Amino acid sequence: MSRVERIEGEVRNLSADELKAFRDWFARFDAAAWDEQIEADAGNGKLRSLAERALRDHEAGRSTLL
């Protein structure tokens, strides 16, 4: 049994209150991990081409207000 399978089993056995607490914690954990990845990607230039393309598209009138 893999580590992930063991964790899945533990999650399946949580009470409703425990599951809610776990969801809340995991949402915060996942958001922080995502923020770190975005910051790393922005810092090393991985997002530069996407930003440049978005700016070109906007300047060419291919964007709309949300």
Instruction: Return d(Cα 65, Cα 50) in angstroms, integer.
Output: 19
Could you tell me the two tokens for 42?
A: 């922005």
Instruction: Return d(Cα 4, Cα 16) in angstroms, integer.
Output: 21
Instruction: Return d(Cα 19, Cα 4) in angstroms, integer.
Output: 17
Per-residue pLDDT tens over the stretch 19-50:
999 999 999 999 999 999 999 999 999 999 99
Mean pLDDT of the chain: 97
Cα 2 to Cα 12, 15, 50: the distances in Å are: 15, 23, 37
Residue type, 14: L
What value does the mean pLDDT take over residues 8-12? 98
The whole-model pTM stands at: 0.69
Percent of the chain with pLDDT over 70: 100
